[in-house]
Structures are given as C-alpha cells and as structure tokens.
Amino acid sequence: MLFTPFEIKETVDMFLRYRLDIRAITLGISLLDCATSTGEQTRRRIREKLLRVAGSLVSVGREIETEYGIPIINKRLAVSPIALVAASSGETDYRPYAQTLDQCAVELGVDFVGGFSALVQKGFSGGDRNLVDSIPGALSSTARVCASVNVASTKSGINMDAVRRMGEVVRETALAGIGGDGLGCAKLVILCNAPEDNPFMAGGFHGPGEAESCLNVGVSGPGVVRAVLESQRDANFDELADIIKKTAFKITRVGQLVGQEAARRLGVPFGILDLSLAPTPAVGDSVARILEEMGLEKAGTHGTTAALAMLTDMVKKGGVMASTHVGGFSGAFIPVSEDEGMVAAVRSGSISLDKLEAMTSVCSVGLDMIALPGDTPASTISAIIADEMAIGMVNNKTTAVRVIPVPGKKAGDWAEFGGLLGGAPIMPVNAAGSAAFISRGGRIPAPIHSFRN
C-alpha cells in the first residue's frame, strides 16, 4: 500500500480544514527579444508573445485543480524587467508598457503580471530612470500590474540615490490612485537581493539569468503548520523543529507535483518551488498564530524573533528535502494587513514597526503590507527602506519593503484594502527626521564579507 488511511485523511484535512493551497503558479516569460527601436512595435511584440506563450496558462491551472482537487489561488505572469525591454525604444514614459501588460492579463485571465521592474542596486541607466519615474502613473492606471525595484545587494551595497527616489515614488504612488487611496503601493515593492525566480507578487519578475520561459510555483500552508503544532504543546524545541520540518516536506511535495504537471502541459521547463508560509486575512491562515502556538502570549513579545527564526529555517529544510529546485523567497512571510494574527498583535500594542524590523532579519522577506500615516515624509519612507536594505545586504538575504502611506489617515486609524489585501491599523513612525541622512545620496558600500571571489 502506497499510503495509509491516516496519511490520506491527513492530506484531505490539509486542504479542507487547514487551508493548504497552491498560492500561485507563475509563468515566467522573457521579453528581451521584443525590444525594438520604437515603443509601438515593442509593445505589439510583447502582446503577441504573451498571448502566444501564456494562452493556456489559466485553462491548465483549472484542469489541474479539477483533476487533483488542489486549489490554485492565483495564475500569474512574470516578465523580464521592463526597464531592460523598453530602453531602446527612445520613449521616456513607460506607462503604455504597463497598460499593454494589463490588457494582456485581462485577455488571458491571469490575476497579476510582475515585471514592471528595474535593477538599480549599483546605479541607474536611462531606462531605469524612466521606469521608476513612470511607476505612480503606471500603477494608478492598471489593475493587475506589479512593480518592483531592486536598490541594494550584498555584492553592490545600497544605492542611496535610488533609496531616496523610491521614498518619493511611494508617496507619489499613494496619492496617484483613485481618490488618493494609497492602494497602488500594495503593488509596489522595493528589494535587496531580489530573486530572479520569485512566483509571489508584487516582487516577481523573470530575471535576465532565467530560461526563455519557465513555470514557478508558490505554495502556502500556515494553517497546516499551526494545526500540527496544536497537538504538540508539551514538545521541546528539538521535537517542534522536527515536526515543522516534516510538515513542510509534505506541503512541498504537493507543490512539486502541481508544478511539474503544469510545466509539462504548458510545454515549458519547471523552474522552482517557493515554499513560503504566506498568510491571508482569513482566521486560521496566520503566521502570527503559529508563533503564538509555540508559547508566545502575543506575536511581537520577547521571544518572537527566535520563534520566527526556527520556523523559517525548518520550512526551508523541509522544502529542500522535498524538492531539488527550491527558490524564490521560501520561508515565512510576515505581512501585517494580510495576517489576522498580526493585525491583532498590532492593535494590542504587542508589535511595533521597530519589532517588525527586527523580525525581518530572520523572515523570508521584510516589512510587508504596513499602513503608515498619510503625512509620512518621503525622507522617512526612504529611511525605512534604507534600514531594511541594510539588513538584507549585511545578512546576505532577500529583504523588501512594501508600505502604504494612506492619505488622510493618522496613527491608530484603520485602513481597509479589501480581499486578500485585508486591512490594518495605521502604524506610527518615529517622529524624528531623517531628511539630512537621506539627502546625502551616493552608495553605501558592500560589506566586507561580500568579496568572496
């Protein structure tokens, strides 16, 4: 017998009771061969290629959902950084590229397209500047396009000119939406050490080092991990770590099955599997509640960073055992608005912005889906970005910032974003200014341990 009745029931429970799902299948497509000397021709080639290569993505996803009974929440595209594709066109306003991507997403039925992106960790090219300047207008005029800018890396250091500009762009994007609601910022992320194969948005893009096309999968299962820990309240940390690792192994095997089958049917290589415990606003689907299940009264109290470090590490170890192609972020996400346990911890005063920053040193991403007062200065947003980039640079890990200054809101107010984005209390920022620090510009050099050649 391949599977015992207990193992079959356990797998069924994962899907029906504990919200295990395939969070995303993301088809990465290179658009580098679409670049021409005119924007109109380039966009026509982009459209033709996306409709040709991704035409069956949604139908394949639905077939697999039906045949295997495995929910696939999002079908997504990730494309080459548009700053690279559009640079030779001679245009300076890249909003039409975002609109082309958005129109293709609607026709294809995909949920999001990632890749309105630039890689500026060491400096700006002309195309990079054009793209960054176009972000507010691009995100306010599209519904499904996501933007990302990599401003730092362990090898290159932190581009503080880019950090300063991105603080301004975040504010401009917050004001550019319908009624100035800040929601465009939910589709914008600033990164250090951005992975080129990430299936999760808003930071997904198809990196220059990737194949012509490939299928990446993002799996999520915080509810499953929490359910397992509920029955292990007397276990010591050695036992707890082993339980999490084995659970992550089982979750990853499901993702591997779906990813390989989807890639086969699409006729593209299987890329990577990203096992990230990515929460949703639904009760029972929270990373914060996993940490509390380990014995913390509230997420954010003393011991939270240690608990998160173990959780992230065991998820990675279980994933690596289960799949030979693990990539993306892989670990544990700690978004505020998308995690009902995090929202509860913020409301109770257990989690502050400073504590979240400490937690990002061991989680798989960074400061994510955090609502800020609408009058937060651009220089303060830039300083928040700089701190997070420093954590990623020095620790040789991916970190990111996705914050939402909500116009008209002040600390303590509530911001409702809706759907999977959830809602969150407006978190206060430090009142002391950082303008003089940010205005210096230049580049913070790479750490000494980056020189490993």
User: Tens of pLDDT along 215-228?
Assistant: 998 887 777 887 88
pTM over 0.85: yes
Instruction: Tell me which of 292-296, 387-391, 418-422 is least confident.
Output: 418-422
In this prediction, residue 15 has a pLDDT band, given cuts at 50, 70 and 90, of: low
Instruction: Tell me which of 28-37, 57-66, 236-245, 271-280 is least confident.
Output: 271-280
User: In the predicted model, is pLDDT for residue 386 greater than 70?
Assistant: yes
In this prediction, residue 180 has a pLDDT band, given cuts at 50, 70 and 90, of: low
- The domain made up of 222-253+279-440 has a fold known as Anaerobic Ribonucleotide-triphosphate Reductase Large Chain (3.20.70)
User: In the predicted model, is pLDDT for residue 452 greater than 80?
Assistant: no
Common-topology check for domains 20-192 and 222-253+279-440: yes
In this prediction, residue 19 has a pLDDT band, given cuts at 50, 70 and 90, of: low
Residue 18: predicted pLDDT: 56
Tokens of 108: 């294809």
**CATH, domain range 20-192:** 3.20.70.20
Domain-wise residue ranges, the chain = 20-192, 222-253+279-440
Residue 259: predicted pLDDT: 86
User: In the predicted model, is pLDDT for residue 1 greater than 60?
Assistant: no
For the segment 59-79, the average pLDDT, to the nearest whole number, is 87
User: In the predicted model, is pLDDT for residue 21 greater than 80?
Assistant: no
Q: Which residue has the higher pLDDT, 88 or 73?
A: 88
Average pLDDT, the chain: 88
Per-residue pLDDT tens over the stretch 283-307: 667 889 999 999 999 999 999 999 9
Per-residue pLDDT tens over the stretch 233-275: 888 999 989 988 888 888 787 788 888 888 999 999 998 888 8
Residue 272: predicted pLDDT: 87
